[in-house]
Chains A and B, each alone.
Chain A
Amino acid sequence: MNGIPIEAGLIVAGILFMLGMISVLIRRNIIFMLISVEVMLNAAGMAFIVAGSKWMQADGQVMFIFILTMAAAEVSVGLALILQIYHQLKTLDSDAANKMNG
């Protein structure tokens, strides 16, 4: 059977990453931004898996595990912060937290 060209895998990862990035840029709601960041992290991880598969080594998967761990920690802390922001500013608008300007 024919194999899958590696570029296809990487292109899929790239497209997912790009979609996540667009979402981060156009969303004003903080939770949506967080979700978009998860999408981006997932896409980056996928790139690592594809590369690891090319070289037939475990390194790519190990990197993905690390990325996964980091994403988990980040989501938990981020959500805690979002809770605080909601309780302080009573809104989920990311533009409301703009006191550090000028």
Chain B
Amino acid sequence: MEAIFYIASAVAILSTIMVITRYNMVHALLYLVVSFLAVAVIFYVLGAPFIAALEVIVYAGAIVVLIIFVIMMLNLKQESVEQEEKWLTKRVLVGPAILCIILLGELIYILSTSDVTVLDGNQVDSKEVGRSLYTTYVIGVELCGLLLMSGIVGAYHLGRQKKKVVHRFLEKTEE
């Protein structure tokens, strides 16, 4: 069982590294999908099958697709890939890498000073999750509903583009 866990985590980490080093946006997104699938496997091994399914459906299926749609709408050409090449040099990696390694070091230090607990893979299935969700955390559900609604409205409003009305005499200055 744990072998699957370790393999899946290795896949996840490797594909995330690929996400962050690609120049082409769509390539990065495809690797992201792989990462999410690996994470879903990890979730299943840890005993959360409902969440594993949810991860695939929402994250990989909705969010990544949304990003791909927007990329298509922007109609980016080859020069954006070259631009990314220009921007993403080895030099800019230094500072953030140092900072993040320090952060990771601290996290590992915290974890190492606590007791070793072993998970034995008992499942917490969807029925229990649902029960907890609608009794203890029902207010969270309401708030999430509100959040989603504001997300929809905001996204619609912000995404609109109004045609700029220019007098026909001034039209000549536009291309």
Contacts and interface: CB of A to CB of B under 8 A. Distances in A.
B88 A7 contact: no
B66 A76 contact: yes
A18 to B, nearest CB: 4
A31 to B, nearest CB: 6
Contacts, number: 237
Nearest to B70: A79
A61 B48 contact: yes
Contact of B32 (A3, A35, A71, A77): A35
A42 B48 contact: no
Given A52-B48, A77-B158, A22 B97 contact: yes
Given A58-B129, A62-B132, A70 B118 contact: no
A73 B16 contact: no
A57 B155 contact: no
Instruction: Classify the interface of chain B: helix, strand, loop or mixed.
Output: helix
Contacts of B19: 23, 35-36, 39
B104 A58 contact: no
Interface of B: 1-2, 5-6, 9, 12-13, 16-17, 19-20, 25, 28-29, 32, 35-36, 39, 42-43, 45-48, 50-51, 54-55, 58-59, 62-63, 66-67, 70-71, 73-74, 76, 80, 83-84, 87-88, 92-93, 95-97, 99-101, 103-104, 107-108, 111-112, 114, 116-122, 124, 128-129, 131-133, 136-137, 140, 144, 147-148, 150-152, 154-159, 161
Query: Which 8 A-B pairs give the minimum distances between C-beta atoms?
Result: A73-B151, A3-B118, A25-B96, A23-B20, A58-B132, A80-B158, A80-B159, A76-B155
26 contacts: A4-B5, A4-B121, A5-B119, A16-B12, A19-B13, A19-B17, A21-B103, A22-B93, A29-B84, A32-B25, A38-B63, A39-B19, A49-B43, A53-B119, A61-B50, A61-B129, A62-B129, A64-B51, A65-B51, A73-B151, A76-B152, A77-B154, A79-B159, A84-B158, A84-B159, A92-B74
Given A4-B5, A29-B84, 18 more contacts: A4-B46, A7-B112, A8-B5, A8-B9, A9-B119, A14-B107, A22-B96, A26-B88, A35-B29, A39-B16, A53-B119, A61-B124, A65-B129, A65-B144, A74-B151, A80-B154, A80-B156, A84-B159
